[in-house]
Amino acid sequence: MKIVTSAISGSGRTLYLGNELGRGGEGSVYEVKSDSKVVAKVYHQSISTIKQEKIKTMVDLKNESLLSFTTWPVDVLRNKSNEIIGFLMPKLAGKAIHSLYSPKTRLNEFPRTTFPFLVHTAANLARAFATVHESGHVIGDVNHGNFYVTDKGTVMIVDCDSFQIVSHGTQYKCEVGIPMYQPPEFQDISSFRDVVRTYNHDNFGLAVFIFLLLFMGRHPFSGRYLGPGEMPIEKAIKEFRFAYSSSAAAKMMQPPPGTLALKALPSSVGALFERAFSTEGTGRGFRPSAKEWVAVLSKMTNQLKKCSHKEEHSFPDMLGSCPWCELEGKTGVVLFPTLVALSNQSLSTFKLESVWAQIVAVSSPGSAPAVPAIPIQGISPSKPVVEQARTRKKKKYLSVVPSMLGILMLFLYPAGWIFIVLASVIFTVALRDSDGNQLKQELNQKYKEAEQAWNHLSTRWAREAGHEAFSKKMSELGNARREYQGLAGLRAEKLKQLESQQRNRQLHAYLQRYRIEDAKIEGIGPSRKATLESFGIETASDINANAIRQVPGFGPSYTRKLTVWRSTIERNFVFDPRLGVPQADIANVDRDIDAKRKKLEQELLVGQSQLTQISNQIKVRRNAIWSELVNSANRLAQADVDRKVL
């Protein structure tokens, strides 16, 4: 392996190179001993004359805007034969973008990440693309190794010497590309050597990486294919099978399980993804430009709200509930690290016994009194009913008179009996008490209604006037107090559990260091690796036969290759009991305990006011219902007396 120790700058100055910082297929990157702000990229082999011209042209085209977002060449490097062998570029800061959009990696690499940070980073990625495009260049080889992110969310694009550059009518093409990040129109070509790239081609790759950032590392074209055969990512791209589209079903696609839905983002963001991945996107300039993404994502940062259950969760404010809580519950994967800061402040300012004394000092409303008795004495019939009763009696007595007269007349005038009987009947009918019968029906109906009202109020009294709500809240506060008192024991129990799982946790941490993306596994290239990642399989620790079988296109052969790879790594694991429980695991326990402590303290602190409010509400309801009950009892008693008069 050839190590370069010096090179000559464009001004003719000899530069001495230090440690090799990185090595790729094309060249190596070295420290520059005289300048810590730049590094030197030196090619492994001699480069063509055209490539040398391209590097020199790029140095001439450098500007502050490009240097803000790219590791653009700032000076040429020559050998003693005056051939360009490399170039100087700004020293790179940050980490590869895949370590941010992958949930399992970012817990270690970006431990303070929140969803707003991902949106912010996506907007900065779009700004980087916009800067390159505004300078007249095309990135071309958009891939996961070309973008680096700092802990502030700024983005740098690397490998700029592969860009498509135009200067003074001369075009230097981008001759490489990874299909899974290239648009549909490039999926059938065998070489990029003669392909002229456009901003619209770049915009497809930009949309893919924005999607990866917002959808937790899921590739937009990796999903469940419901048709026959396999559907690798490249083929899905070619056939416009966007797995998260509103029309995905028509393309026989479904998103992988445990993923965010496109409609969970603002409609303006979803619309840009639909445009970027549609058949119309192949038209010149139809895909959303980098500037469009900047505008929409910048607006989105102001449309987010915090989850009421987990401080580390933020989500679009048009949603009713937190999608991250739902996804974490379904998958068991922590998407964002806990942001609860460990603090002993609550222990010094919160006094449990003092707070509890205030709670128990709230007087209970007690059991509800018995419903009032229905009065049975002192109720007189109402005046209209009494008058109607007197009238009815008079009519009753008068109705006897015709009958008596009829009998008398029969003795006196036997021959006219038929006329006498007829006259008696007519007179009796005339005196019939029809009004009294109607009033009796009305009074019985009135009694029935009064009885129903009384029964309804009695039921309501039993339901609302009791002290059950007060007792329930007091019981809940008692449970919170006991749980608070048991926090120290809970912490000890969790730490003991960690100790018992020490070997498994060490093995898990060891396996997590081996990313499938970085491994060389026969037959499993970038596309299949991206598919695995879309289904939550990122590292050796995620590999098990059952999980792999759920991934489309991974049958027994690929399953065996992956499990063999994991087993090979696992054989090299050595358990070290001296390490004890990792501090990071202890910190996670303490975060959980501290979060519980704060939640319980808040519940207990408002306990007194809640109990007081509940007690007052019960008393107010009792007074209101009692008044109605007394009136209802009197109405029922009156109705009963009235109906008995007739």
Give the single-character DSSP code of 379.
-
Residues 127/78, Cβ–Cβ less than 8 Å? no
Element (H, E) at 58: helix 49-61
Q: Is 426 exposed, middle or buried (0-12, 13-18, 19+ CB in 10 A)?
A: exposed
Give the 3-state secondary structure of residue 40: strand
Residue 511 Cα distances to 128, 267, 581, angstroms: 35, 39, 17
CA distance to 221, 353, 358, 490, per residue, from 605 (Å): 50, 11, 9, 22
Residue 306 phi, psi (nearest 5): -80, 145
Which tokens belong to 610? 């809640």
Q: How far is CA 391 from CA 381, 432, 441, 442, in A?
A: 15, 11, 17, 17
The set of residues, in sequence order, having a beta carbon less than 8 Å from that of 630 and lying 6+ positions away, is 372
Answer for the pair 168, 108: CB distance below 8 angstroms, yes or no.
Answer: no
What's the CA gap between 331 and 354, in Å, rounded?
Answer: 42
Percentages of the chain per state (helix, strand, coil), in multiples of 5? 55, 10, 35
Alpha-helical runs (H) found in 95-198: 98-101, 103-109, 115-134
d(CA 259, CA 327): 7
Q: What is the DSSP secondary-structure string of 270-322?
A: HHHHHHHTSGGGGSTTTSPPHHHHHHHHHHHTTSEEE-SS-TT-EEETT-SS-
* Structure tokens given for 419: 């006329």
Token duo for residue 38: 């730049």
CA-based radius of gyration for the chain: 43
Distance separating alpha carbons of residues 213 and 161, to the nearest angstrom: 25
Residue numbers annotated as active site:
141
Is residue 211 within 8 A of residue 533, CB to CB? The reply is no
Question: Which helix or strand (DSSP H or E) is residue 14 part of?
Answer: strand 14-23
Question: Which residues on neighbouring strands pair with residue 43, listed in sequence order?
Answer: 27
| DSSP 8-state secondary structure symbol assigned to residue 148 | E
Please check whether residue 100 is in contact with residue 152, taking contact to mean a CB–CB distance below 8 angstroms: no
Of residues 95, 337, 335, the one with CA closest to residue 218: 335
Alpha helices for 308-464 (secondary structure H)? 323-331, 345-349, 352-360, 383-398, 401-412, 417-430, 434-464
